[in-house]
Each structure stands twice: as structure tokens, then as C-alpha cells.
């Protein structure tokens, strides 16, 4: 059986075709994706009343309570259905959590999932440049002789 990952919709690694990509958002991207989106599990998206909660500590408990209300069996079945397609599954939302102090619900979901299943969900590799981060200059070694 495949592995579950999390990522952001704009991760170029998703273009490889190696993954079943699934949204976990209330609203899917309006911009064109360079890969196929297999579906969306809206039950994993935060409820609307948590949209403007930017404090992770204040977000986590009510978000997990909402997941518990929906029920692990329902969420598990939805995730496993995508795993049944034969590839690793990547659960996506928008935030770039590589940025310092950035977090989002997919990281909190991964913690909730680990408590329920013992399975660790890792963030998929993303080698693209972080917006706002400057690339270090490239130096060419030259010989003085």
C-alpha cells in the first residue's frame, strides 16, 4: 500500500506523475495546475469558523475536535480510497510551511492522523525556491595562474 504525504498545491514535485494528488481544502485552486488533481477531501479542511485563526495552539484543539466529530472511520475511508489507486497520496493545501514560523492545517492533520493510526505523514520534498528568499549568489572558481 502507498504512503501518505502532505504538501502545497504549487510544489513542482507533484508534476512528476508519481503521486495521487488530493486537495484537503474548502476551495480548490483557481489557477491552473500542471498535474491532475484526483479529488478533494473537504472533511479534512478546517471549518469556516476557523479560517481566521492564525495561532496554532488556539487552532489545534477545535480543529481536532471537528475531525473527531466527523469521525476517524469516515476520514480514514476517504484517504484509503485514494491510496487504493496504487500510488502514494499527497494531501494538499496552499501554505508553504518551509517558511520560518509558517504552519497550516495539514500539519495539524498529520499529527491527528499519527495519534489515530501510529502512521507518520511527512511533508513531501519541495526543492523550489521559497518566495521572498533570495538565492545565494553563484560563485565561479577562477584560477589566478
Of the CA atoms within 13 Å of residue 1, those in its CB half-sphere come to: 8
Which pLDDT belongs to residue 64?
Answer: 98
pTM of whole model > 0.85? Answer: yes
How far is residue 66's CA from residue 69's CA, in Å, rounded to a whole number? 5
CA-closest candidate to residue 89, choices 124, 117, 135, 131: 124
Give me the residue spans of the domains in the chain: 4-123
pLDDT of 46 higher than 80 = yes
pLDDT of 144 higher than 80 = no
pLDDT of 134 higher than 70 = no
Percent of the chain with pLDDT over 70: 90
Task: Name 31's Cβ contacts closer than 8 Å, sequence gap at least 6.
Answer: none
Q: Please, which pLDDT band fits residue 137 given cuts at 50, 70 and 90?
A: low
Amino acid at each position: 500500500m502507498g504512503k501518505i504525504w502532505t504538501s502545497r498545491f504549487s510544489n513542482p514535485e507533484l508534476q512528476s506523475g508519481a503521486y495521487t494528488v488530493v486537495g484537503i481544502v474548502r476551495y480548490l485552486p483557481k489557477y491552473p495546475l500542471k498535474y491532475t488533481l484526483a479529488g478533494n477531501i473537504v472533511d479534512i479542511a478546517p471549518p469556516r469558523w476557523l479560517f481566521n485563526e492564525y495561532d496554532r495552539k488556539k487552532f489545534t484543539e477545535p480543529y481536532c475536535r471537528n475531525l473527531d466529530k466527523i469521525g476517524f472511520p469516515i476520514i480514514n475511508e476517504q484517504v484509503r480510497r485514494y491510496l487504493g489507486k496504487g500510488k502514494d497520496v499527497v494531501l494538499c493545501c496552499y501554505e508553504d510551511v518551509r517558511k520560518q514560523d509558517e504552519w497550516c492545517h495539514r500539519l495539524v492533520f498529520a499529527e491527528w492522523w499519527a495519534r489515530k493510526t501510529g502512521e507518520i505523514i511527512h511533508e513531501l520534498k519541495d526543492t523550489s525556491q521559497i518566495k521572498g528568499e533570495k538565492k545565494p549568489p553563484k560563485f565561479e572558481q577562477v584560477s589566478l595562474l
